[in-house]
Structure 1
Amino acid sequence: MRRVRVSSLQSPVHKLGDTQMKLTSKFRFATAMLSPQLSLTADPEMSAEPPIQLIPGLPDDVALNCLLRVPVKYHLSCRLVCRQWHNLFSSKSHFFTLRKTLKLESPYLFTLAYHRCTGKIEWRVFDLRHSSWHTIPAMPCRDRACPRGFGCVSLPESGSLLVCGGLVSDMDCPLHLVLKYDVYKNRWTVLPPMLVARSFFGGGVIGGLVYVAGGYSTNQFELNSAEVYDPVKGVWDSVASMGIHMAASDSAVIDGKLYVTEGCTWPFFSSPRGRVYDPKPNKWEGMAAGMREGWTGLGTVYDNRLFVISEYERMCTKVYDMESDMWDPVDGPPLPERVKKPFSISCLEQQGQIVVVGRGLHIAVGNIERCLDCSKSSLRKVKYTISWEEVEAPRDFSDLTPSSCQILYA
C-alpha cells in the first residue's frame, strides 16, 4: 500500500465578521458607493489601521443589507452611531439609490394634500411596509394653486412622479406647469410646459408615455384637445382631438387605452359623458353607456379591470365587466367610516391591494381576492371579494385633505 502524506497546512476558516471574507460583485459595488474611505477587501497586514466594519461581527455585505431595510423614521437616530452610518443615512437619495442597486425596493404612497384652512399644499409619504409617515422637499409651485386642479401620474420604471397643469385659485387661471419628483435623487425639477394650459383634466401612462386630455381652460371653458409627453425626449406633442369639449373627474388606463369620464354630479339632470383613447390608431371613441353611467366615484385598475368606490352607494366597491357592459358588486364590507370624503385611491397590483386615503389622511387598505362564481350561469365568471384594514393617521394630519395619491417603489 502506498503511503500518502497529508499536509498540515490547511486553508484558514473565516469566522463570521472576518474582514478577509470576499464579497460578491453586487455587494462590493454597493459598499464601495457607501464610503470611499471604507475598504472592504483590504488586507489588515498591509494597512496601518484595521478596516472599520458597519456592524461589528457581521460581514459588510450582510450589514449593508440589514441597514438598507431600516425605516425612514429611524434614520435620524441612526446617523449618530458612527461616521459610516452617518454617510449612509444622511442622504435619502443615496440611501434609496443603494436600495435600487440591491433590488430592495418597497412600496411608498405619495399623497398630495392641502390644509383645509390655509390651503397650503404639501406632499406626505407613507411607508406601506412599516406603516410610517415622512416628508419630501416642498413642490416648487404657486402657493395659491388649487390642489384638485393638478394632474398627477407616476412612472414606476424611473421612480418618478409628474405633476401637470393646475389652477391659480384667486385668478381662475390654468397653468402649463409640469414638475417631476425623482425618488432616487429626492428633488423636484421643472420639465417643459404643456402645449395647452389646463386644469381638472384626465391623464394616464401608456407604454411609458404620459397622456393628458380635456380639462378647463380660462373662464371655465372646456377643452377638447389632448397631448402626450415623452419622458426620454422631453417633449410634448399633440394627439387626436377628443371630439367633444369636457373636463374630467377621473381617468384610468385599461388594456392600453385611456378612459376619461366627467363623472356624475348631483342632481343628475344630464347623463355623464366619457371618451376612450386608443394610442395605436390615434383615435378617440365614445365610452360604453353602462360604463359611463355607473362610474359614480373614483376608480383604480387591478387585474386589468376598473374598480370604483361609489360616492353615492354607501361607499361600496364595484367592478366593471367589459363583456356585459355592467357593474358587478364586490363582496365585502363598504369603505370604513373613518375614511371620509373627499378621498383618493391607488392600487398595489403586485400585492392585490387597493389603498384609499381619506380626510385627515386616514388610510384603508383593501385586500382583494379573486375566485370563480359558477352559481349564476353555466359560464364560470370571475368574482371578487374585498376586506379592509384601517391605518389611523397622526393627529397632526387632522386638517389635511388628500387631492391625489400615487404609489412608487423605492
Structure 2
Amino acid sequence: MDQTLQQSPNAQRGFRVQAPLVDSVSCYCKADSGLKTVAEASKFVPGSKLCIQPDINPRAHKTKNSRRERSRFQPPLLPGLPDDLAIACLIRVPRAEHTKLRLVCKRWYRLLAGNFFYSLRRSFGMAEEWVYVIKRDRDGRISWHAFDPMNQLWQPLPPVPIEYSGALGFGCAVLSGCHLYLFGGKDPLKGSMRRVVFYSARTNKWHRAPDMLRKRHLFGSCVINNSLYVAGGECEGIQRTLHSAEVYDPNKNRWSFIADMSTPMVPFIGVVYDGKWFLKGLGAHREVLSESYIPENNTWVPISNGMVAGWQNPSISMNGKLYALDCRDGCKLRVYDEATNSWKRFIDSKLHLGSSRALEAAALVPLNGKLCIIRNNMSVSIVDVSTPDKRVESNPHLWENIAGKGHIRNLFTNFWSSLAGRGGLKSHIVHCQVLQA
C-alpha cells in the first residue's frame, strides 16, 4: 500500500477495511527499461494501476548477464567479418601503423593495448624488431629515437620521464622482449637514485617499477633468464665504490640482493656469454679488474684469461659466439675463439668511414638474426654473421651500410665539421636496445 494513503474514518473507528487488490497484469513497475517514468508508462497502458508494493526492486527484472548481453551486440572489429578473422587481418598490419590503429575506435585501442594481440604476432612470426637509441645532446639532455628497419625510418617516441631527462650513469635493459627499463643513475641535483621506470613498446607509454634496493650510478647491468641484474657502481658517501649486487624478478615484481662482488668495481664493459656475466672495470684505486658471475651458484669469480685481455667495447654474445668491434667506426668484426683462448678477425667491411667521434661505433645489437652496428651519427650497418666465409665484394648483403631518412644530412654536417677543425660532437649515444612488438 502507498505509505501516503490516509486511513479512512471507518478504519479509525475500528472497522476493518480491505485494501484494493493490485492487478498484476497492469502492474508496470519499470518492467520495460525503456519506460523511464510512470508518466511515460501510463501513456502506453491507459487505465492501469500503479504498482504500490514498496518491497519490489525496480532492478529485479534486469538480468545479471546484461553486460554479457550487451557485448554480444557490440559492433564487430571489421564489418562483415567475425572477430577472429578480423584479428587475423589486424595482426598483419605493419608495426609502423599501429599508432593509427589505436585511434580508430575503443575496441581497436583495447585490442592493441593488451598482450593478446602482440602474443599472436609473435607466435605467427609477424612481430617486428625496432632499434631504440638513447642519446645525450651537447647540453646534457637525454633524448631517444626508434629505428624501423623495414621502412628505414626513425620513428617518434614519447619523451623520457623527467627524472631521466638529465641523469648520468643510469642503466638500460630489456625484459620480456618489449619492456625497456631505465634504472639507477645520478641526478645532477639530487645525486644517486634508486628509481626504476620502463617503457612498453606495446602501449607506447612509460610506467613505474619498484625502486632498486641500493642507490647507484655507473654500474654494470645485464639480463639472464628474463631477470635484471645490477652490480657495482658508485654512490655518494664514505664507501664511494660499491661491491653490492641485486636482481629484479619481473614475475615477482621485486628486487633482492645477490652475492657481493669480490672487490668494489665501477664496470665500463660487460657481456653475458656461456651463461655467465662477465664484467671489466676499475677498482677503488683505479686498477683494472675483471670478474664473472655464475647465477646457478650465486658466486663471483675473478678472471684473467685471453678473452678479457683482448676484450673491447662494444661487444655482444649471439648464437653462442662472442663478437666485438676492432676499429673505431666498426669497420671490422672480431670473434672470440675458445680453442685458442684468443680473438680472431671475423669480417672486414673494406670501408673505413673515419675516426671522428661522430662516426664512432657506439653499440652492437642483434636485429632480425643479424648484427647491427649503431654509430653516434645514427648511421646503421647490418652484418650477416651466418656466412663469414663469403667475401664482402662478392656478397653486398653481407655488410650493408644504412642511413635512416632524416639523418643523412648529419653525415655531411659531421664530415665538413671535421674538415673545418670543429670536432665538437652535437650528441652521442648512451644506450641502444632492441624491442619487439
Offset of residue 258 of structure 1: 0.8
Q: 1:228 to 1:202 in 2, by over 3 A?
A: same
8 Å CA contact retained: 2:102, 2:112: no
Q: Quick one: percent identity of the two aligned structures? A: 26
- How many residue pairs get aligned? The number is 336
What letter matches 2:434 in structure 1? I
Counterparts of 1:214 and 1:259 in 2: how far apart (Å)? 13
Q: Structure 1, residues 214-262: CA drift from partner, whole Å, max 9, x if none?
A: 1122279321111111111122111111111211112111122111112
8 Å CA contact retained: 2:227, 2:250: yes
8 Å CA contact retained: 2:143, 2:165: no
1:154-303 to structure 2, matched below 5 A, reads 154-156=174-176, 159-169=178-188, 173-218=191-236, 221-262=240-281, 272-303=288-319
TM-score by length of 2: 0.66
Q: What's 1:357 paired with?
A: 374
8 Å CA contact retained: 1:332, 1:386: no
Q: What's 2:15 paired with?
A: none
Counterparts of 2:303 and 2:155 in 1: how far apart (Å)? 40
Aligned-partner SS, 1:331: strand
Counterparts of 2:182 and 2:405 in 1: how far apart (Å)? 26
Whether 2:143 is the aligned partner of 1:122: answer yes
Task: Give the structure with higher Rg (CA).
Answer: 2
Q: Structure 1, residues 287-316: CA drift from partner, whole Å, max 9, x if none?
A: 233222211221111122221113569752
For structure 1, the 5+ residue unaligned runs are 1-33, 41-50, 264-269, 374-384
Q: Structure 1, residues 57-112: CA drift from partner, whole Å, max 9, x if none?
A: xx8766654544444555677789xxxx5557768943885243343311111221
Aligned-partner SS, 2:246: strand
Q: 1:35 to 1:139 in 2, by over 3 A?
A: farther
The worse-fitting range, judged by mean Cα deviation, of 138-147 and 319-328 is: 138-147
Q: 1:296 to 1:386 in 2, by over 3 A?
A: farther
Counterparts of 1:146 and 1:184 in 2: how far apart (Å)? 25
Counterparts of 1:368 and 1:140 in 2: how far apart (Å)? 36
Structure with a larger share of its residues in strand: 1
Counterparts of 2:329 and 2:307 in 1: how far apart (Å)? 16
Counterparts of 1:111 and 1:211 in 2: how far apart (Å)? 21
What letter matches 2:312 in structure 1? T
Q: What's 1:391 paired with?
A: 402
Q: Structure 1, residues 387-408: CA drift from partner, whole Å, max 9, x if none?
A: 3212213446945432111112
Q: 1:143 to 1:278 in 2, by over 3 A?
A: closer
Q: 1:167 to 1:342 in 2, by over 3 A?
A: farther
8 Å CA contact retained: 2:360, 2:376: yes
Aligned-partner SS, 1:249: strand
8 Å CA contact retained: 2:361, 2:373: no
Aligned-partner SS, 1:369: coil
8 Å CA contact retained: 2:294, 2:300: yes
What letter matches 2:376 in structure 1? R
8 Å CA contact retained: 1:151, 1:164: yes
8 Å CA contact retained: 1:335, 1:364: no
For structure 2, the 5+ residue unaligned runs are 1-70, 391-395, 411-425
